[in-house]
Amino acid sequence: MFSSLSPFLPDSRFLKEVLQRKRYERIKQKDEQGFSRQWFLLAGRVDASARLQPRPASLQKLMPPNDRIWADPFLWKQGENLFLFCEEWICARPHGHISVMQLAGDGTQKSRTTPVLVENYHLSYPFLFEFEGALHMMPEGGANKAIDVYRCEEFPNRWRKRTTLMRNISYADATLFKHQEKWWLFTTIKKGLCGLNRDLFVFSADSPLTDKWTPHPRNPVVRNISGARPAGPLFEHEGKIFRPSQNCLVRYGHCLNINEVTRLDMRRYEERTVNEVKPDWQEGIRAIHHLDWRDDVIVMDTQRLLPTNDVVTSPPDIPSQSQTHR
């Protein structure tokens, strides 16, 4: 599965990135003394071109309570109603779960979050896709070392595990994309001495529910901390394919890249960065690392610092695993 033309040993660029990351880590630790990181969401109505040049400052803030984060938002429309699925991680709990909220047509929040998928390990990045007339979710469950797919049995609250695409894999943010009658699976994988944010792998198959995936001969197709890790669904605009990715060089999820995929086939993969969205749109913003869009509504996530004394740590009641999926 991991055959590659590129070795999994450190190269000069990797060593340079490691030194840069260590320097940024020292700066981060100093800046964050007495504070806690909180991810929150942004949403708003835009035209399709905003996916290439998103403007976070123009969007509305969807703020979680101070005891939790909201991150990795994915949108789905059911009839005339718009729903947002996201990672919700409550500070007092050991790991996050997947929750849903309803949005109005302008991106404002219409309902509180409701947990819909809870496991005994961390869940995030609830990638949604439709196949054979059914809605499916492929959340990141990297802590369980498996890429699992759940089928929706009663929207939006009831999900049942349908299949496992890959096992025994240290991965992050698996993302599917259908192109030229093939399903393509994009994910970063920790292999050898490199971390989860550096190596992007691509696999192909005839079905998104199979466990037989063909590795791309150029794997890893992207090798850098500043652009490998997925940051939301791939999308098409004016006949071109674009892939959002994270720049994790300064810190995890620091910047959002928009990359044009200039070649995707069984022999080659090529992309080029066409835009970078930096966390400089408001004072105090630390990171921005995700993008999704549906029916003229765009959603992103972003990070701020909260004084640690303002973070509520009393554990709230949330449904158990058996209550959120069967």
**Model confidence pLDDT, tens digit, residues 132-181:** 999 999 999 999 999 999 999 999 999 999 999 999 999 999 999 999 99
DSSP class of residue 56 equals: G
Domain boundaries, the chain: 12-225+295-305
Cα separation, 281 vs 205, whole angstroms: 40
- Residue 49's alpha-carbon distances to 55, 224, 256, in angstroms, are 11, 27, 16
From the number of C-beta atoms within 10 Å of its C-beta (0-12, 13-18, 19+), residue 70 rates as buried
Q: Does residue 133 come out as left (phi exceeding 0), alpha (psi in the -120 to 50 range) or beta? A: left
Instruction: List per-residue pLDDT tens for the chain, 326 residues long.
Output: 544 444 455 566 766 776 666 665 776 677 778 889 999 999 999 999 999 999 999 999 999 999 999 999 999 999 999 999 999 999 989 999 999 999 999 999 999 999 999 999 999 999 999 999 999 999 999 999 999 999 999 999 999 999 999 999 999 999 999 999 999 999 999 987 678 999 999 999 999 999 999 999 999 999 999 999 999 999 999 999 999 999 999 999 999 999 999 999 999 999 999 999 999 999 999 999 999 999 999 999 999 999 988 887 655 566 554 444 43
Query: Are the C-beta atoms of residues 304 and 286 closer than 8 Å to each other?
Result: yes
Tell the CATH topology of 12-225+295-305: Tachylectin-2; Chain A (2.115.10)
For residue 227, the one-letter residue type is G
Name the token pair of 17: 């990135």
